[in-house]
């Protein structure tokens, strides 16, 4: 038999008034005379289901556009305006401009982004996101087969599967290979932990956004963002042939 009748009455009162906002009343304040439509809970920072979510939590536009910023189109004033809005909404922690170059740095809980300018407009954007947990299989599912692969380490063997892979490799040191989609204006850095392999569960470390171009034009451009601005020759570029060894 319950004896705490005051406690029971309080519980029943809150249950009865729940739809009217008992749960939201602040101590010492009278309940509001009008009711408002409940607002949906915003997506929390750190949600990582898609690349766009990982890079700032909502898909505003398709890559290489990011949050309304587009390489080759957006001006510095455009970028400042968008970054101010993102900061005001709590979607980035902050941003700043380099004192040595036309570069803006954008900071978020999962990493950071560099926005590089040339002739007053965005040239390319580079995002490194070591805490996003974004995998190669997600890149392939989202963008399809890469137009080119630039492995940082090569191995002669081929036709070996990725069956040896397990999550313990996430913490091992590796080298960076490149999955390039120049006609889409998107290139990914992949942390490879075994020579000559690209496996679906390997982590990506970052992405470059740039003005779309053809693969031949990207190969001609010195320091092309399509290849992470690395000094690569035609001999360093290979075709995608699926998961496994041979890269």
Q: Parse the chain into domains and list their residue ranges.
A: 44-132, 134-247
- Tell me the whole-structure pTM to 2 decimals: 0.74
pLDDT (0 to 100) of residue 74: 97
pLDDT (0 to 100) of residue 30: 34
**Residue, of 34 and 68, whose pLDDT is higher:** 68
Mean pLDDT of the region 105-121: 88
The least confident of 36-50, 100-114, 188-202 is 36-50
pLDDT (0 to 100) of residue 169: 82
**Residue, of 1 and 181, whose pLDDT is higher:** 181
Q: What is the DSSP string of the chain?
A: ----HHHHHHHHHHHHHGGGTGGGPPTT-PPPSS--PPPPPPPPTT--SSHHHHHHSS-SS-TT-BTTB-TTT-BHHHHHHHHHHHHHTTSSSEEEE-SSSSEEEEEETTEEEEEEEETTEEEEEEEE-TTS--BHHHHHHHH-S-SEEE-SS--S--S--STT--GGGGGS--EEEEEEETTTTEEEEEEE-STT-B-TTPBEEEEEEE----HHHHHHSTT-GGGTT----GGG-B----SBS--
pLDDT (0 to 100) of residue 75: 96
Query: Which among 14-23, 25-34, 159-168, 227-236 has the top mean pLDDT?
Result: 159-168
pLDDT (0 to 100) of residue 32: 38
pLDDT (0 to 100) of residue 100: 85
**Residue, of 215 and 175, whose pLDDT is higher:** 215
pLDDT category, 53, cuts 50, 70, 90?
low
pLDDT category, 24, cuts 50, 70, 90?
very low
Q: What percent of the chain has pLDDT over 70?
A: 73
């Amino acid at each position: 038999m319950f004896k705490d009748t005051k406690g029971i009455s309080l519980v029943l009162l809150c249950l009865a008034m729940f739809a009217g906002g008992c749960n939201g009343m602040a101590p010492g304040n009278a309940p509001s005379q009008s009711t408002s439509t409940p607002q949906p809970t915003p997506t929390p920072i750190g949600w990582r289901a898609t690349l766009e979510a990982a890079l700032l939590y909502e898909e505003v536009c398709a890559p290489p556009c990011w949050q309304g910023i587009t390489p080759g189109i957006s001006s510095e004033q455009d970028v400042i305006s968008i970054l101010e809005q993102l900061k005001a909404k709590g979607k980035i922690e902050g941003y700043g401009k380099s004192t040595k170059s036309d570069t803006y740095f954008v900071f978020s809980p999962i990493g950071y982004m560099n926005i590089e300018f040339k002739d007053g407009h965005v040239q390319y954007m580079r995002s490194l996101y070591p805490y996003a947990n974004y995998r190669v299989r997600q890149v392939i599912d989202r963008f399809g087969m890469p137009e080119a692969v630039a492995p940082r380490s090569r191995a002669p063997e081929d036709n070996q599967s990725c069956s040896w892979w397990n999550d313990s490799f996430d913490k091992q040191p590796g080298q960076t290979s490149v999955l390039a989609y120049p006609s889409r204006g998107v290139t990914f850095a992949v942390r490879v932990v075994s020579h000559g392999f690209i496996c679906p569960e390997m982590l990506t470390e970052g992405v470059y956004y740039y003005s779309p171009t053809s693969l031949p034009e990207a190969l001609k451009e010195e320091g092309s963002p399509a290849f992470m601005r690395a000094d690569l020759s035609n001999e360093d570029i290979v075709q995608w042939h699926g998961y496994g060894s041979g890269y």
